[in-house]
Chain A
Amino acid sequence: MNAKQMDRLATLFFYLVAILIVCTLIGLLGFILFKGISYISWDFLTEAPGSYILGEVGGIAPMLFNSFYLLILTMIITLPIGIGGGIYMAEYAKPTRFTKFLRLCMEVMSSLPSIIIGLFGLLLLVQYTGWGYTLAGGALALTIFNLPLMVRVVEQAITAVPKDQKEASLALGITHWQTITKIMLPVALPGIVTGTILAAGRIFGEAAALLFTAGMSSPNLDFTNWDPTAVSSPLNPFRPAATLSVYIWKVNSDSLSTQTAAIVSGGSAFILICVVLLFTIFARLLGKYIYRRLTSS
C-alpha cells in the first residue's frame, strides 16, 4: 500500500469514527426523546408525585424545582470561589511546588467518584452537622466536584486572553488588579459563561452524590409560601430534596409496577435531557452574544 492509499484509508477511518459518535448520540437522544415525549403532560410537569410504589404516576413538579434550586445554591457557592481561584491560578500563582500540588489536589477532587463524595457528605454534612438530609448539604457536596471544574474554566478563559492585551494595559500605568477586572475578565467572559453553563449541566444531572446528602424525598411543598425559614417552603435550604435524577433512581428501585416506573422515569429522563440540551445550546448562544457585544459597540 502506498502513502496515498494509506492517507485515504486513514481519512475514511476517521470519518467512520466521527459518524459513529454522531450516530450514537443521535440514537441515544432520539430514543429518550421519542419514548419520553408521550409521557409528558401538563399534569406531569405541575403535579406532586403520586404513590409510585402502588403504581400511581403523579407528577414531577417538586423534583424539577429541587433540581433547579439545588443548581442555583451550588452556583452561589462555587461561582465566587471558582472565579477567585481561577484568577489566582492564572495570574498570581507562581510555578512553585505548592502550585503544582494545588493543581494535583484539584484534579483528584474533580475525579473523585461521586458516590464517595455522597458518603463523605453523609458523614460530614448530614450526621456530623446534625442537619439531616438538606439542600444545603447537597449543594456543598456538589461543590466538591464542581469547584475544580469552575477553577479550571476560569483559569483557561483568563489564560486565553492575549498576553499583548494584558501588557498593553499594564504599560498604561494600570495596576494588575485593574487590568484583570477591566480588560482580562471582560475578554474572558464568553469563555467563563460558556464553561459555567456546561458545568451546570453536569450538576443538574448528578444523582449519586445527592442520594445521601440532599436525600431521596421531599416534604410536601407549599408553593405559595416563599419564606425560606418555613419547613414547607420550597426555598428552605435546610429541607430534604430529591432531585429529578435521584427521583428516577428512586422510582426504579422502589416501584412495584414496572410500567409506572417506566412512565415516570421515561418522562423524567425526557425533561432532564431537554434541560441539559437547552443549557448547552444556551451556553453557546450566550457566549457568542457576549463576545459580539464586547467586540462591537
Chain B
Amino acid sequence: MLVVDQFNVYYGEKHALNNISITFSSKTVTALIGPSGCGKSTLLRSLNRMNDYIPMFRADGSIRLGKTEIYDSKTDVVSLRKRMGMVFQQPIPFPLSIYDNIAYGPRIHGIKQKKQLDAIVEKTLHQAHLWDEVKDRLHASALGLSGGQQQRLVIARVLAVEPEILLLDEPASALDPISTEHIEQLILSLKENYTIIVVTHNMQQAKRISDQTAFFLHGEIVEAKETDILFQSPNDQRTERYLSGQFG
C-alpha cells in the first residue's frame, strides 16, 4: 500500500502540488487525470523521487510505501526505485538487443547466471505479451521494434527488476490505437500482481482500465474515488465539467 499524506511540491516559488492526500491500495489500478500542467505527472515522479534531479525542487508532507517513508533522508533512493517500476510516455529502449534490454537491470542487481537471466527474459516477455513476437530475434536490436512493441519491451524491462508498484506516465499516448489496446490489456492483466498508477490524458482509457480515479486541477486533487462513481456522479462541478469535455 502506498499512502500519500498532505504532500506538497514546490519548484522554486511555484507551488506545484498542494496538499495531496491519496491512498493507492495493493493490486488496484489508479488513474490520474486532469488537464496539462495540473500536477499529475509531478505526483507520479515524486513517488519514486525522479524529481530529485530537478533544480529548485522541494517537497514536504509524507509518502509511505509500506513502512518506508519515501522522503526520509535515510531512505535509500536506489533501492526505492527498484520497488517502483516506471514507464514513460515515449518508448525508450536502450540501444542494446532485446535480450540485453531486459537483462540490464537484473544483471546490475547481481544476477549473473545465464540460465537465470534466460528465465527472467522469457517470463517478463510473456508477462508483457511480447514473447511470441520477438522470441526468434531476442538478440536483435531493440531499436528495430515498432513503437508499441518497444513500449511493451520497456514494461518487460521494468518487470524484470521485480517491482511492487508500476508507475505509468501516459504509457499509450504516443502509440496507435491497436498498440494502445495491447497496453491496456496488459495493464489489466498486470493488476493481479502489481499496484498500478497510470497518468493519462484519455478519460475513456481511465474508465476502461482503472479501479480508482483522481482528478487533478492546478496542483490539487479535486476528487478521487472509485472510477465508476466518479464518472457517473462526480461531486464537484469542476470534475463534471472536465469529464463532459467543457475544458481541458
Contacts and interface: CB of A to CB of B under 8 A. Distances in A.
Contact of B94 (A95, A169, A171): A169
Interface string B188-208: 000000000000000000000
B143 A296 contact: yes
23 contacts: A95-B55, A164-B88, A164-B90, A165-B92, A167-B86, A168-B92, A169-B94, A171-B48, A171-B81, A172-B81, A172-B85, A172-B158, A173-B78, A173-B79, A173-B80, A183-B94, A186-B95, A187-B95, A294-B96, A295-B95, A295-B141, A296-B144, A297-B140
Interface of A: 94-95, 162, 164-165, 167-175, 178, 182-183, 186-187, 294-297
B109 interface: yes
A171 B85 contact: yes
A54 B217 CA distance: 88
A175 B76 CA distance: 11
B139 to A, nearest CB: 6
Contact of A297 (B80, B92, B100, B154): B100
B92 A170 contact: no
Interface of B: 48, 50, 55, 78-86, 88, 90, 92, 94-97, 100, 104-105, 108-109, 139-141, 143-144, 154, 157-158, 161
A171 B86 contact: yes
B49 to A, nearest CB: 9
Contacts, number: 70
Nearest to A161: B95
B108 A297 contact: no
Contact of B88 (A168, A294, A296): A168
Q: Which 4 A-B pairs have the closest CB atoms?
A: A173-B82, A171-B86, A173-B81, A296-B141
A172 B48 contact: no
Given A171-B48, A171-B81, A296-B141, 10 more contacts: A164-B88, A164-B90, A165-B94, A167-B50, A168-B94, A172-B82, A172-B104, A173-B80, A173-B105, A174-B108
A94, A95, A162, A174: most-surrounded residue (chain B CB, <10 A): A174
A94, A178, A296: most-surrounded residue (chain B CB, <10 A): A296
B139 A172 contact: no
